[in-house]
């Protein structure tokens, strides 16, 4: 499978997914650490991809949604943004409802199958 197809499958197959350097338990960059902390504070499960473990994704993800940096947060198959945007949404109280609604839609879709 082509790397962009793999990315597309990950983005569309998860209600919330963050592409980050490291893992939520062991982030390996300050931007990834702050973005994942904001997500964790929402209390909704999310998927992650450690771009340091997958050189193809590390190289090609910036082409997927024309976003050059990491982390990258996707909700409902759409790029939300990187660290700064994630932190702004969290600080304004907008991030939690976004991830809660995405998770609820995903659960509803799974229940309908």
**Helix, strand, or coil here: 87?**
helix
* DSSP reduced 3-state for 73: strand
User: Reduced to 3 states, what is the DSSP secondary structure of residue 91?
Assistant: helix
Q: Map out the domains of the chain as residue ranges.
A: 3-96
Which residues make Cβ contacts (< 8 Å) with residue 98, sequence separation at least 6?
A: 75, 80, 89
Task: Say if residue 71 is preceded by a cis peptide, omega within 30 of 0.
Answer: yes
Summarize pLDDT for 42-101 with one digit per residue, the tens. Answer: 999 999 999 999 999 999 999 999 999 999 999 999 999 999 999 999 999 999 999 999
pLDDT tens sequence across 77-91: 999 999 999 999 999
Tell me the C-alpha distance between 102 and 86, whole Å.
15
The CATH homologous superfamily of the domain defined by 3-96: Glutaredoxin (3.40.30.10)
């Amino acid at each position: 499978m082509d790397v962009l197809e793999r990315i597309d499958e990950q983005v569309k197959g998860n209600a919330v997914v963050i592409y980050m350097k490291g893992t939520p338990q062991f982030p390996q960059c300050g931007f990834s650490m702050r973005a994942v902390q904001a997500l964790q504070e929402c209390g909704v499960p999310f998927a992650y991809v450690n771009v340091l473990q997958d050189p193809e994704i590390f190289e090609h993800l910036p082409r997927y949604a024309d976003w050059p940096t990491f982390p990258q947060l996707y909700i409902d198959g759409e790029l939300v943004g990187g660290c700064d945007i994630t932190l702004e949404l969290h600080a304004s109280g907008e991030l939690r409802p976004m991830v809660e609604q995405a998770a609820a839609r995903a659960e509803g879709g799974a229940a309908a199958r």
